[in-house]
A = this chain, B = another copy of it.
Amino acid sequence: MSTSLFERLGGNDGITRLTSDLVDNHLANPTIATRFAKGNIPALKQAAASFMISGTGGDNVYKGKDMLAAHKGMNIAAAEFMAVLDDALDAMTKNDVGQREQEEVLFVLYSMRANIVRV
């Protein structure tokens, strides 16, 4: 496919909406909401957006920690990681992201598990 995932997800605007919905889903998800109790939500949304923009072929705007450093010491369980994936799929459906793109995003997210779960 010639068009980048970044473009197919709606570019900066599409991804910013998508990751905002994603974080909102997390805040409402009983399996993981408590992880965000003390968090700076606007900063988190911005980090999520810039991470996804950089990772899907947009400008390289992510300045945050790498995935391992970001999750080190949190002892994130498999059930929590799956909650994140569920929230991502839900946010994509809510934003009319097609199945092909959902497959690609799920694959990329799942590929990060070794840097996120129980690290």
- List A81-119 residues whose CB lies under 8 Å from chain B: 81-82, 85-86, 89, 99, 102-104, 106-107, 110, 113, 117-119
* CB closest residue in chain B, given A114: B86
Main secondary structure of the interface of A (DSSP, over half): helix
The answer to whether B78 touches A118, judged by C-beta atoms less than 8 angstroms apart, is no
Which residues of A are at the interface with B, using a C-beta cutoff of 8 A? 32, 34-38, 72-82, 85-86, 89, 99, 102-104, 106-107, 110, 113, 117-119
A38: chain B residues at CB < 8 Å are 73
A73: chain B residues at CB < 8 Å are 34-38
* CB closest residue in chain B, given A80: B75
